[in-house]
Amino acid sequence: MPIKKALNISIEHVSILDENGKFDEKLGKNLIPDEDVVRLYEHIILCRHLDEVAFKLQRSGRMGTYPENRGQEATSVGAVYALEGKDWLVPCYRENAGLYLRGLPIEYVLLHWMGDERGNQIPEDLHITPIAIPIGTQMLHATGLAWASKYRGDGGISCTFFGDGATSEGDFHEAANFASNLDLPVIFLCQNNGWAISVPSSIQSSAPTFAQRGVAYGMHSVQCDGNDLFAMVKVVREAAERARKENRPTFIEAITYRLGDHTTADDARRYRDADTVEAWTKKDPLIRLRKYLDDRKLWDDKREKAALANAKEAVSAAVKRAEEIEPPKTEAMFNSMYETLHDELILQRETMRTSSIGQNPSEIDPAVSLHAQDTTD
């Protein structure tokens, strides 16, 4: 057979709670206990409210650039719910909802965007790495963290979050390739939200799916509805099991949509039409979750109101904590450069100068400026 098949592959798409609130009982059964669905729904309400508040903080000059998570919350919430506390979360910047679920206090993220490194001083036991600004780079850290877990045999795995745009970076490729070839327990969770700032996802990949990116590495790859909390929990749980039991990575394409601007520095009306956004608004994970809860009599307007009130309280307390933190001391920018600072750095910190005469004021004494007089004639 001179022409023969070298490979045959297919990728599945998973959906359980669809955009109309239709629930697949078979797939969804026992996936999430009722009380947890309620809790996660409340959590998303809180995160949604936080986004609103953060947006206003930025607009009123109380915070720098901020990236809304609005509309995408189910992706990270579902993923983190499906993981264990010892598993590493290696985020980009659009998965706050998941990080809070793990236990990251809200003010950390606020502080980060308020231009304060203390927002990254993440408590050790949370197993969360700091928000990654350079796109695509953090996936390699996830690979390394997973490797450490495997090396130590501590049973932990890594889950790294990134956007459709991030899959275009070489670092994504190298991370996925390392994970697959070295058999590392990593979940690559691609949040395909349709956009990388103003660039549509079709420029990042002209292939029918992003999920097939994972095929390159011989990695199990799957696509799912990222606005479907249940689908997220299912695929991440399966991926986590694959990682924990077989040390094999998984690539997940979660299809979602960025309902807001890229960040507060962006104006999405410049490059996308309102109709598409409108259509996606109807696929909001909150809407279908509410319907799910309503159908099962797990929720009502009173509880909704209470949840919102709780959210407001929690968010405003967090904002207060973020805003009332004492201003960072100037010396902070020196102090954590190394475990032990070298002389030049100490001198710069003590004098707040880089000009040598200023660092050594005795040199300004006219008595020592002999030399200057010597040569001016």
Partner 1 sequence: MANLTLVQAINLALIQEMEEDDRIILLGEDVGKNGGVFRVTEGLWQRFGGDRVVDSPLAESGILGTSIGLAMAGLRPIPEIQFEGFLGPAYDQICTHAARMRTRTRGAYTVPLTIRVPVGGGIHAPELHSDSPETIYTHTPGLKVVMPASPYDAKGLLISAIRDPDPVIFFEPKRIYRAFREEVPEDEYTIPIGEARVVQEGEQITMVSWGASVIQCMNAIENCNHSVELIDLRTIAPMDMQAIEQSVKKTGRCVVVHEAPKTLGLGAEIASRIMEHCFLHLEAPVQRVAGFDTIMPYYKLELDYMPDAARITKAVEEVSAY
Ligand X SMILES: Cc1ncc(C[n+]2csc(CCOP(=O)(O)OP(=O)(O)O)c2C)c(N)n1
**Residue of 161, 172, 188, 299 interacting with a second copy (CB under 8 A):** 172
| Angle between helical axes of 34-59 and 73-82 (0-180°, round to 10) | 130
193 binds, among Mg ion, partner 1, a second copy, none (CB under 5 to 8 A by kind): Mg ion
296 is an active site residue: no
Number of C-beta neighbours around residue 194 at 10 A: 17
* Residue type (1 letter), 160: T
Helix (H, G, I), strand (E, B) or coil at 128: strand
Q: Residue 296: name the closest of 33, 14, 74 by CA.
A: 33
Q: Which residues of 357-377 are buried (b: 16+ CB within 10 A; e: fewer)?
A: eeeeeeeeeeeeeeeeeeeee
What are the backbone dihedrals phi and psi of residue 250, each rounded to the nearest 5 degrees, phi first?
-135, 145
If one asks whether residue 120 binds partner 1 (CB under 8 A), the answer comes out as yes
Q: Which residues contact 28 (CB under 8 A, 6 or more apart)?
A: 16, 17, 230, 234
Report, in Å, the least distance between residue 92 CB and ligand X.
Answer: 6
Pick out residues in 176-195 that bind partner 1 (CB under 8 A). Answer: 177-178, 181-182
If one asks whether residue 204 binds a second copy (CB under 8 A), the answer comes out as yes
* Residue type (1 letter), 358: G
If one asks whether residue 208 binds a second copy (CB under 8 A), the answer comes out as yes
Residue 135 or 293 with smaller CB distance to ligand X? 135
Q: What is the DSSP string of 275-322?
A: HHHHHHHTT-HHHHHHHHHHHTT---HHHHHHHHHHHHHHHHHHHHHH
If one asks whether residue 327 binds a second copy (CB under 8 A), the answer comes out as no
**Residue of 367, 371, 373, 376 interacting with a second copy (CB under 8 A):** 371
d(C-alpha 32, C-alpha 17), whole Å: 12
367 binds, among a second copy, ligand X, partner 1, none (CB under 5 to 8 A by kind): none
262 is an active site residue: yes
Residue 50 or 219 with smaller CB distance to a second copy? 219
**Residue of 164, 171, 261, 284 interacting with Mg ion (CB under 5 A):** 164
Active-site pick, 43, 258, 288, 290:
258
If one asks whether residue 15 binds a second copy (CB under 8 A), the answer comes out as yes
d(C-alpha 18, C-alpha 147), whole Å: 36
Instruction: Give the contact letters, 83-112, x = binds to partner 1 (CB under 8 A), - = no.
Output: -----------------------------x
**Residue of 8, 10, 297, 338 interacting with partner 1 (CB under 8 A):** 338
**Residue of 46, 80, 114, 286 interacting with partner 1 (CB under 8 A):** 114
Instruction: Give the contact letters, 29-68, x = binds to partner 1 (CB under 8 A), - = no.
Output: -----------------------------------xx---
d(C-alpha 244, C-alpha 237), whole Å: 10
If one asks whether residue 163 binds ligand X (CB under 6 A), the answer comes out as yes
Helix (H, G, I), strand (E, B) or coil at 22: coil
Pick out residues in 247-266 that bind Mg ion (CB under 5 A). Answer: none
**Residue of 69, 129, 149, 180 interacting with a second copy (CB under 8 A):** 180
Q: Which two tokens stand for residue 144?
A: 């390394």
217 is an active site residue: no
**Which residues are annotated as catalytic?**
258, 262, 271
By CB under 5 A, name the binding residues for Mg ion: 163-165, 193, 196
